[in-house]
Structure 1
Amino acid sequence: MGKVMLEVNNLKTKYVTRFHEDVYAVDGVSLKIEEGKSLGVAGESGCGKSTLALSLMGYYFAPLHYISGDIIVDGRKISGMKPDDVRKNILGNEIAYIPQAAMNALNPTQKIIRFVEDVIHAHDPKMPRKDIYDLAKERFQILGLPEEVLQKHAVELSGGMKQRTVIAISTILSPKVLIADEPSSALDVTSQKMVIKMMRDLMEKGFIKSMIFITHELPLLYNVTDDIMVMYAGQIVEKGTAKEMVFDPLHPYSKGLMGSIIVPEEGVREQKLTAIPGTPPNLKHPPEGCRFADRCPYAQPTCRGMKPEVIELPNGREYRCLMSERKVREVYANA
């Protein structure tokens, strides 16, 4: 077992609406990532993926609030730290975060090198501009970005180039954990391929120690990450290796996700596409029992009244369901 870069134990966070209603978007999430490993997080919109990304950084501001649980980065507990301490000592060099549509956040009137300077000066105010430029030039070139990008404005770059530039800037301090939320969405196929290659290069060259890659596309994760966990209604419903999750999903929601997406891999592409009926539940008032019961084609009456516990299998795989592994496989075989 390698060195653990990120460990999360029973993390709970919530949104407080303007009507003072609590929305538990992350409800008891636990995960662990070792050095050199990548973890994918999948699920449809509204399942809590982006909120989980925000919550993992330990930096909270209204309307998102920390409730309980531990976040440990390379042996250092950051949950419960003061926001200023997290911003100065954790963000950027311990954990880096790339939000959705991050490329649209670049100030069009500012050169790219100024963004790099802002990131580095937030942690080392005395570092000379020449040293920052030399560091940025070297890093950009290693990651396949030409030096002239540093002297350009964001409006002069294509969408794919902007996204790769944002990733390079976000990881300039070589963080131990990179959290990327839909980093390849809204890009054409060629640009997506280049972004994914860049993420792999960051891992292989040691610029980041571990990575969390969030997307609604399970098959994409198969080609990018070592392990995948599926999120539904604020909870993790299944975790396993990328191969297990794509070719042998156990939880009915994971199976539904795979059945609703075109997958080019042999053995899956021949299967007929099916849709998951309904929508995720309202997390202001989550269901009493299984949160997927109302949409599950295999649900029994007990599923609506009994909360499913996480079932841990001998090979380290986990899923949240009232059915045993044997029962799950019997049901799927007869479906």
Structure 2
Amino acid sequence: MDILSVKNLKLYYRTLYGLAKAVDDVSFTVKDNEILGIAGESGCGKTTLGLGLVLRKPPLIWSGGEALIENINLMRLDEKSMRKLRYEKISIIPQYAMDALNPTKRIEQIIEDLLKEHGQRLDQKWEMLLEKLSLVNLSKKVLKMYPIELSGGMRQRLVMVISTLLNPKVLIADEITSALDVSTQKAVVQTLYEMKEKRFMASLIFITHDLSLLYQIADRIMIMYAGKIAEISNTEEIINNPLHPYTKALIASLPKIGIRYGEAKLKGIHGYPPNLLNVGNACRFKERCPMAFSKCEEDPPVFKIDEKEVACWLYEEGGMD
């Protein structure tokens, strides 16, 4: 069953030079009890997508499409209505989670304010709160402290607790491991996985640039490039049998286990992504793609091949002849 259904979503940034098409005609679903990984280069639109589903603030604007949770279109809600759904239907651990807490309030007051906004009291959630604090290895003593009294790692773990306080249908984790060492990354990912297993959220969207991390935890992976979807498939297929030339290039750029220095060279992707203020009508990967041909002067639709989705003219019927 699909918990979140996104169709033809367009999220643009209004700038002095025009509209930057950061998320442009993107469609995907998130299933119940699923971890969907979203990956791609910096600037591909993955963070904008996550934020746009939860916290749209200028200069980010909604320009079309829909995002449905329980038949509620998140895109058409005003801020007052969205505040009632936030944390309950959809929630986010932001990219800079350790700086997301109000520095003028104690942690307990931050939590009480959130619960009050949703018509609940702290005593009603007390046992669950203690369970979640224990899961992230925090004492209940932190509730009496101000954010500045806590380390960055402690604040990040607290944001994980607060973001799941109302057991949202969908939790978005946005680049939450990017500033962490490998051992801490492992602990954070393991904690999120345990939270999902305990149904502290129904489904998880995990946004990262690290495909090797997604390989360990994601059920499906969505690859984005320049505001568009390049490919969606189950994790094994994305890693071991990628279809889109961009996905293949990303996989080729990853170091392989057991390959020594000098035995093989990592392959980079030449060139740069297009300017999102002026993307034109061609495939956005065309100028960097080794497989480009005449048809690529048109922006490709998403083709469905069994359980896979790929936006590349090579996979049009007869396109590989």
Same fold judged by TM-score > 0.5?
Answer: yes
1:214 aligns with 2:207: yes
Which amino acid letter does the alignment assign opposite residue 38 of structure 1?
Answer: I
1:319 equivalent among 299, 303, 310: 310
1:200 aligns with 2:206: no
Over the matched positions of the two proteins, sequence identity in percent amounts to 41
Which residue of 1 is the match for residue 274 of structure 2?
Answer: 281
Q: Which blocks of at least 5 consecutive residues in structure 2 are unaligned?
A: none
The list of structure 1 runs, each at least 4 consecutive aligned residues, that deviate by more than 6 angstroms after superposition, is: 325-330
Give the 3 Å change call, closer, same or farther, for CA 173–265 of structure 1 in structure 2.
Answer: farther
1:49 aligns with 2:42: no
State the distance in 2 between where 1:26 and 1:142 align.
35
1:291 equivalent among 284, 289, 292: 284
Contact residue 99 and residue 181 of structure 1 kept, 8 A: yes
Which residue of 1 is the match for residue 247 of structure 2?
Answer: 254
Q: Which blocks of at least 5 consecutive residues in structure 1 are unaligned?
A: 331-335
Give the 3 Å change call, closer, same or farther, for CA 265–217 of structure 1 in structure 2.
Answer: farther
Give the 3 Å change call, closer, same or farther, for CA 244–271 of structure 1 in structure 2.
Answer: farther
Does the residue aligned with 1:223 lie in a helix, a strand or coil? helix
Contact residue 313 and residue 319 of structure 2 kept, 8 A: no
State the distance in 1 between where 2:16 and 2:286 align.
30
State the distance in 2 between where 1:47 and 1:12 align.
13
State the distance in 1 between where 2:38 and 2:195 align.
19
Contact residue 159 and residue 187 of structure 1 kept, 8 A: no
Which residue of 1 is the match for residue 65 of structure 2?
Answer: 69
1:102 aligns with 2:93: no
Following superposition, the deviation at residue 18 of structure 1 comes to: 3.1
Does the residue aligned with 2:64 lie in a helix, a strand or coil? strand
Which residue of 2 is the match for residue 333 of structure 1?
Answer: none
Q: How many residues align?
A: 318
Following superposition, the deviation at residue 147 of structure 1 comes to: 2.3
State the distance in 2 between where 1:192 and 1:176 align.
24
What whole-Å deviation, never above 9, does each CA across 1:181-221 have from its counterpart, x for those lacking one? 10111011121111101110111001100110000111111
Which amino acid letter does the alignment assign opposite residue 43 of structure 1?
Answer: G
TM-score by length of 2: 0.91
Following superposition, the deviation at residue 241 of structure 1 comes to: 0.6
State the distance in 1 between where 2:180 and 2:318 align.
41
Does the residue aligned with 1:309 lie in a helix, a strand or coil? coil
Which residue of 2 is the match for residue 16 of structure 1?
Answer: 14
Following superposition, the deviation at residue 160 of structure 1 comes to: 2.7
State the distance in 1 between where 2:145 and 2:126 align.
13
1:111 equivalent among 106, 113, 116: 106
Which residue of 1 is the match for residue 75 of structure 2?
Answer: 79
State the distance in 2 between where 1:62 and 1:238 align.
29
Q: CA RMSD in A?
A: 2.3
